[in-house]
Amino acid sequence: MAVIKEITSIGSVVMPIEERWTIRRCRYAPEGGGKGRLCIATGIHGDEMMGQLIVYGVAKRIMAQPQHLHGTVDIYPMLNALGLDIGERMEPSSTLLDMNRSFPGTPDGTAMEAMCYHIVQDMLGADLVLDIHASTNNKSELYEVRMNANDAKTMLEHARCLCPELIWIYPDKISFSASLTSTLCEMGTPALILEADERRRRPQDISEHVVEGIFCKMRDMGIWTGDTVNPPKSLSEIPTIHNPEDVRRVTCEHPGIYVPMDRIGGIVREGELLGVVIDALEGEALEEISAPCDGLVFSQRSYSAVYPGTLIARLYRKERT
């Protein structure tokens, strides 16, 4: 069965800096369209590049095994194309607005509002939308699926089939206020955030994990019949954060250079060393930072400058006292 590849502009506006902001969608579908539709969005923050590698992997596998595609896969690789061009997190105009706090937008508003409106309108009605993000600067994350507690009842099974290393259920709507995923869920289109770290030595490794998870979900949706390597685990086997008390934030007290131990994805015991803050001028270790409890290290500061209160790590502790 042949796969039709179609690139379409879903929105375009003229910017005051004499550039045009255009969002393009690449659609992969069998002849006749098939049944089911998955949307994969990336690049909503211009300093997050992991999504580019992930959607490249998805497209490459589809084109290598076209006979297994039985539905539509829409890829939006550069929502904030201007930001991606210069590695700027926000929309790079004088406003520096966060695109992921500007949905659902309006067709008659600012350039940002108009583009957000076009994105939402194009994705409405999909069977599932995946919004891929990467960790912020100088921080590593496990492959996580994130959602709002209001959506957890219907979205947990979707999340499980994506084979994440962690599921994080946020208890309040404020965390996702005016985001792409919250807007779509409120309008009846299921959507999830995928967090995939790009700051490890080999981004290909985590990218391949996420791509495999996406194809597991496509198989579950019935739009992919090819083989998948690792079947999804049960929900009881996936670490899942339900309450804020499940997360222990670790911060530093001194300014300096943080030198981490490699703990990401591992279980640490209370008192185990996470890293050291050093002063290179004085040749001193200013602070040894240890785990405050037993838990899974799912977020870890990388080698970088730090200041009092800088987040060093997040630990997931299932058992609380």
User: Domain segments of the chain: what residues?
Assistant: 3-241, 246-316
User: pTM, whole model, 2 decimals?
Assistant: 0.92
Beta pairing partners, 29? 4
Which residues, including other chains, have CB under 8 Å from residue 206's CB and lie 6 or more apart? 50, 143, 196, 197, 198, 200
- How many other CB atoms are found less than 10 A from the CB of residue 159? 28
Q: HSE on the CB side for 152, CA within 13 Å?
A: 16
Q: Is the CB of residue 310 less than 8 Å from the CB of residue 277?
A: no
Q: Would you state the pLDDT for residue 321?
A: 38
Q: Is the CB of residue 58 less than 8 Å from the CB of residue 214?
A: yes
Q: Would you state the pLDDT for residue 26?
A: 98
CA dist 23 and 81 (Å) reads 7
- How many other CB atoms are found less than 10 A from the CB of residue 309? 9
Q: Would you state the pLDDT for residue 320?
A: 47
Cα angle value 113/195/39 (rounded, 5°): 55
- Is 2.40.50.100 the CATH number for 246-316? yes
Q: Would you state the pLDDT for residue 139?
A: 85
The DSSP annotation for 286-321 comes to EEEEE-SSSEEEEEEE-SEEE-TT-EEEEEE-SS--
Q: Would you state the pLDDT for residue 200?
A: 56
DSSP state of 224: B
CA dist 256 and 275 (Å) reads 12
CA dist 196 and 206 (Å) reads 7
Beta strands across the sheet bearing 273-279: 284-290, 273-279, 256-260, 304-306
Q: Would you state the pLDDT for residue 176?
A: 75
Q: Would you state the pLDDT for residue 316?
A: 97
Burial class from Cβ neighbours inside 10 Å (0-12, 13-18, 19+) for residue 281 reads: exposed
Beta pairing partners, 224? 69
Stretches where the chain sits below pLDDT 70 are: 1, 17, 85-96, 173-175, 198-201, 319-321
CA dist 301 and 15 (Å) reads 36
Q: State the CATH class of domain 3-241.
A: alpha beta
Place of tokens 């579908």: 29
Q: Would you state the pLDDT for residue 81?
A: 77
